[in-house]
A and B are shown apart, each in its own frame.
Chain A
């Protein structure tokens, strides 16, 4: 009889090759076992991708290949697999952890599971989640977590993942090319206000200090003509003022930026000078308010003003929580940025300041977590971006002179190492505490 290699032998080899390829792509080392194996096809050795150092931590791998068959109870999201009793008995003797990888030729999928992670009460049955258990570069940290005894002090593996990107909470500001300067008969802005208020077309996005007036619009075209020396108005290149190293110019720039942002965003938020806070104002007494915006994934909305009735004494007044932010202006090199630092503002009913905001804020801050703050930063980004787009619709019409400042999207920081969150969600008893506990927030997903 002629020699033959069966199709299933080829399939097995293909599966193992496919898995080997994935392991190498993860950045780990894969070694085939020799002919004398009885239930593990290979060994994976962990390797720190950044340094290239092999870590001396091993895992056994068994590959099960299928041409195109369906798995047990397979749906779009999950399926089950039953291990052979003899295999399981053998793997139990291993002094390294063993994983099983199921590879299917027809769709090229590969899923994995630690063989000891069987369903409760049925020790041979493994339940796979197609999302969580896909075998690929993202599972590096979970694989690594299997190799250490987490009950031995001093032992850990560093994050072995591909890194991740994060956002910085500051947007680069695009400034107009020109800035208007003039001398003013008034020494400070405060002195000039009464004269300004007698005029038509008043606006407040300007700065007067030491008799110098600056703004991004031409003061002669608005009520501001009353507070400048008209023959002294001139337009200069913006960098002359805003990128100057003089402390006075820097302070004036910050003040001008703040006032311009206040002007530009007035339809949505108000500014509190004393608290140095921008906040979403209420639209009615004791009324909540939502704000719709486009987050990075989808349209979403946030409850930016929330009314909380008094739980203990329903007849007594409650309080209103407003989303707010400290917007700070920071110069880095030759660029100005607006830094978004989200916080909250509290009122009695939407309008009167709350007499004891400290305790409310502290309570809220205690519950705050990374994802929630990130969501708020993304929301503020959207608001600022929106404020830079002229409106021309039924509700609002704005002129070009109302949109001087443009805002670039939040910059990304590419981090070389990611928090191994998938793994920690399984191993860290504190994982639940990392989830923001505010049930009243809508949306706010980034």
Chain B
């Protein structure tokens, strides 16, 4: 019995001046970002205690001087951060202008710490920080992005109280957001979604190797401290992206068709009663760059297996086409819809209707099954290569995590689980092509500069959008700018 297999090469990214590389960090170093900043300074606002504001600001200065890698043997996985001088990977400066900081007092922190109930403590902290954020955005400095440098005392209070019963099995615990308790980060992002500036939460262990995050908090949040140089890469990249520019994008396929990728996710509202749909749409911007936008769909579903009605699916796709058209003045040639549950006949029907009305002939409806029980085992200690693909009679098994030749190792620890891609019959492309695209889409995550991400961007983004939107009443206007949600 034979199955067709392939091992896809690591997808190539595009950087400044047409530079190409498979690795975000090396690409940025050699070619600079895809969209350099016009002003050449990213103005960073900082909110924290006196201590954390100083700590973060010092770290930012340190990154400018460059940080040597502590692990020279795996230099591609842990490269030096070259600093912001001559070989500046972002081709711009990062600055905390005077007046762009706001400090929380010891009394404010203590007040929150003395609140017994977790949810109440979170609400009050969000309230306090939202006020400071609002004040900062209205100040004359107008930061491009605001960093929340949380003190450990507050982190302990706000994050510590997570339930013991987190999904133990999840290899990607970051996704296992079975939050029973109110999540501070999500609530804060929700409350400040209307503000005109994205935020970045930073813990003291980012700048201070000696900072002691209580073990329990670390375990619950699955936080692993990376090498200092890597932390600098990830933080500055995230700040750069949130300040309004795109560091890299997938290398566009010249022969390929103009495609819009739509990710559909589902989330439960805070009471856990109703299921709503969150979406993220990704396509190339006219000119250069990439647009990733999140939204909520006008729909609700009940029951264990969430799905859309035909009308809702129709509306969703119609809106998505309209968004694309608003940017390009024409409709996309092809739409790829990625969803984490099976496509029901009524959904396919609704999508089909929308596509036909818009005159779009090519589409792919792909059910992305996240932890497929089907797996491949090679004979050895390392798992199979990232990019390994098996055509299971039309279903596609794809390893987005696995051994990576560029890194010279398997950058994870647990046995990786592949994605199982199942196409609906209303699909035009061969499963291998779709799988190759999904692999490429895993590299569009500007919150990390390590490229072996598990999920394709539209699904990951739709999910992040859902995490925030669950805290916002339906009917409220929400920002489509993905930078606000991440």
- B76: which of A153, A168, A369, A446 is its contact (CB, 8 Å)? A153
Q: A153-B26, A362-B169 known; A420 and B405 CB under 8 Å?
A: yes
Does B380 contact A370, Cβ atoms closer than 8 Å? Answer: yes
Q: Is residue A373 contacting chain B, with contact meaning CB distance below 8 A?
A: yes
Interface centre among B30, B376, B377 (most CB of A within 10 A): B377
Q: Is residue B392 contacting chain A, with contact meaning CB distance below 8 A?
A: yes
Does A151 contact B394, Cβ atoms closer than 8 Å? Answer: no
Q: Is residue B379 contacting chain A, with contact meaning CB distance below 8 A?
A: yes
Interface residues in A285-300 by Cβ distance below 8 A to B read none
Task: Specify which chain B residues have a CB less than 8 angstroms from the CB of A427 in the assembled complex.
Answer: 73, 408
- A154: which of B76, B168, B403, B414 is its contact (CB, 8 Å)? B76
Least Cβ distance of B207 to chain A in Å?
A: 23
Bound-state CA distance A427–B408 (Å) is 8
- B72: which of A151, A330, A373 is its contact (CB, 8 Å)? A151
A-contact 0/1 string along B363-377, CB 8 Å cutoff: 000000000011111
Bound-state CA distance A325–B207 (Å) is 44
Q: Is residue B410 contacting chain A, with contact meaning CB distance below 8 A?
A: yes
Bound-state CA distance A421–B413 (Å) is 16
Surface stretch bound by B, among A98-106, A308-316, A431-439 = A431-439
Q: Is residue A351 contacting chain B, with contact meaning CB distance below 8 A?
A: no
B-contact 0/1 string along A270-286, CB 8 Å cutoff: 00000000000000000
Q: Is residue A170 contacting chain B, with contact meaning CB distance below 8 A?
A: yes
Interface residues in B388-438 by Cβ distance below 8 A to A read 388, 390, 392-395, 403, 405-406, 408-410, 413-415
- A446: which of B7, B29, B379, B383 is its contact (CB, 8 Å)? B379
Query: Can you name the residue of chain B whose Cβ is closest to the Cβ of A335?
Result: B393
Does B376 contact A167, Cβ atoms closer than 8 Å? Answer: yes
Bound-state CA distance A143–B466 (Å) is 49
Bound-state CA distance A153–B233 (Å) is 14
- B403: which of A157, A335, A361, A419 is its contact (CB, 8 Å)? A419
Task: Specify which chain A residues have a CB less than 8 angstroms from the CB of B409 in the assembled complex.
Answer: 424, 428, 430-431
Q: Is residue B484 contacting chain A, with contact meaning CB distance below 8 A?
A: no
Bound-state CA distance A166–B7 (Å) is 13
Q: Is residue A38 contacting chain B, with contact meaning CB distance below 8 A?
A: no
Q: Is residue B352 contacting chain A, with contact meaning CB distance below 8 A?
A: no
Bound-state CA distance A159–B388 (Å) is 13
Bound-state CA distance A430–B394 (Å) is 36
- B374: which of A164, A165, A170, A446 is its contact (CB, 8 Å)? A170
Task: Specify which chain A residues have a CB less than 8 angstroms from the CB of B73 in the assembled complex.
Answer: 150, 427-429
Does A153 contact B7, Cβ atoms closer than 8 Å? Answer: no
Does A414 contact B5, Cβ atoms closer than 8 Å? Answer: yes
Q: Is residue B23 contacting chain A, with contact meaning CB distance below 8 A?
A: yes
Task: Specify which chain B residues have a CB less than 8 angstroms from the CB of A412 in the assembled complex.
Answer: 2
Does A169 contact B413, Cβ atoms closer than 8 Å? Answer: no
Q: Is residue B74 contacting chain A, with contact meaning CB distance below 8 A?
A: yes
Q: Is residue A418 contacting chain B, with contact meaning CB distance below 8 A?
A: yes
Interface residues in B1-27 by Cβ distance below 8 A to A read 1-3, 5-7, 9, 21, 23, 25-26
- B168: which of A172, A361, A368, A420 is its contact (CB, 8 Å)? A361
Does A416 contact B6, Cβ atoms closer than 8 Å? Answer: yes
Q: How many A-B residue pairs have CB under 8 A?
A: 157
Query: Can you name the residue of chain A whose Cβ is closest to the Cβ of B416?
Result: A370
Does A418 contact B381, Cβ atoms closer than 8 Å? Answer: no
Bound-state CA distance A377–B415 (Å) is 13
Bound-state CA distance A358–B379 (Å) is 29
B-contact 0/1 string along A217-251, CB 8 Å cutoff: 00000000000000000000000000000000000
Least Cβ distance of B420 to chain A in Å?
A: 9
Q: Is residue A366 contacting chain B, with contact meaning CB distance below 8 A?
A: yes
Bound-state CA distance A361–B168 (Å) is 8
Q: Is residue B71 contacting chain A, with contact meaning CB distance below 8 A?
A: yes
Bound-state CA distance A424–B404 (Å) is 11
- B379: which of A374, A416, A434 is its contact (CB, 8 Å)? A374
Interface residues in A156-177 by Cβ distance below 8 A to B read 156-159, 164-170, 172
Does A366 contact B413, Cβ atoms closer than 8 Å? Answer: yes
Does B374 contact A339, Cβ atoms closer than 8 Å? Answer: yes
Does B1 contact A411, Cβ atoms closer than 8 Å? Answer: yes
Q: A333-B394, A419-B403, A427-B73 known; A326 and B373 CB under 8 Å?
A: yes
- A159: which of B71, B165, B377, B385 is its contact (CB, 8 Å)? B385
- B382: which of A170, A326, A419 is its contact (CB, 8 Å)? A419
Does B405 contact A158, Cβ atoms closer than 8 Å? Answer: yes
Task: Specify which chain B residues have a CB less than 8 angstroms from the CB of A418 in the assembled complex.
Answer: 378
Least Cβ distance of B454 to chain A in Å?
A: 17
Does B381 contact A435, Cβ atoms closer than 8 Å? Answer: yes
Q: Is residue A371 contacting chain B, with contact meaning CB distance below 8 A?
A: yes
Bound-state CA distance A172–B440 (Å) is 32
Q: Is residue B186 contacting chain A, with contact meaning CB distance below 8 A?
A: no
Does B6 contact A370, Cβ atoms closer than 8 Å? Answer: no
Does B374 contact A330, Cβ atoms closer than 8 Å? Answer: yes
Does A370 contact B377, Cβ atoms closer than 8 Å? Answer: yes
Does B408 contact A368, Cβ atoms closer than 8 Å? Answer: no
Task: Specify which chain A residues have a CB less than 8 angstroms from the CB of B379 in the assembled complex.
Answer: 164, 166, 371, 374, 446
Bound-state CA distance A155–B406 (Å) is 8
Least Cβ distance of B365 to chain A in Å?
A: 18
Does A417 contact B7, Cβ atoms closer than 8 Å? Answer: yes
Does A373 contact B380, Cβ atoms closer than 8 Å? Answer: no
Q: Is residue B314 contacting chain A, with contact meaning CB distance below 8 A?
A: no
Does B394 contact A153, Cβ atoms closer than 8 Å? Answer: no
Does B377 contact A374, Cβ atoms closer than 8 Å? Answer: yes
Task: Specify which chain A residues have a CB less than 8 angstroms from the CB of B25 in the assembled complex.
Answer: 153
Does A421 contact B382, Cβ atoms closer than 8 Å? Answer: yes
Q: A415-B388, A428-B74 known; A332 and B395 CB under 8 Å?
A: yes
Does B381 contact A370, Cβ atoms closer than 8 Å? Answer: yes
Interface residues in A389-446 by Cβ distance below 8 A to B read 408, 411-421, 424, 427-431, 433-435, 446
- A433: which of B2, B394, B413 is its contact (CB, 8 Å)? B413
Q: Is residue B247 contacting chain A, with contact meaning CB distance below 8 A?
A: no
Task: Specify which chain A residues have a CB less than 8 angstroms from the CB of B381 in the assembled complex.
Answer: 369-371, 421, 431, 434-435
Least Cβ distance of A116 to chain B in Å?
A: 17
Bound-state CA distance A427–B385 (Å) is 17
Q: Is residue B75 contacting chain A, with contact meaning CB distance below 8 A?
A: yes
Bound-state CA distance A416–B376 (Å) is 14
Q: Could you show 19 A-B contacts with beta carbons less than 8 Å apart?
A: A153-B80, A154-B21, A154-B79, A157-B405, A167-B376, A168-B374, A168-B375, A169-B375, A365-B168, A366-B414, A370-B377, A370-B383, A408-B1, A413-B390, A415-B378, A416-B5, A416-B6, A420-B405, A434-B381
13 A-B pairs besides A371-B381, A413-B390 with CB distance below 8 A are: A153-B26, A339-B373, A358-B165, A365-B169, A368-B415, A370-B381, A377-B377, A413-B376, A417-B7, A421-B382, A429-B73, A431-B409, A434-B381
- Interface residues, chain A, CB within 8 Å of chain B? 150-159, 164-170, 172, 326, 328, 330, 332-333, 335, 339, 341, 358-359, 361-362, 365-366, 368-371, 373-374, 377, 408, 411-421, 424, 427-431, 433-435, 446
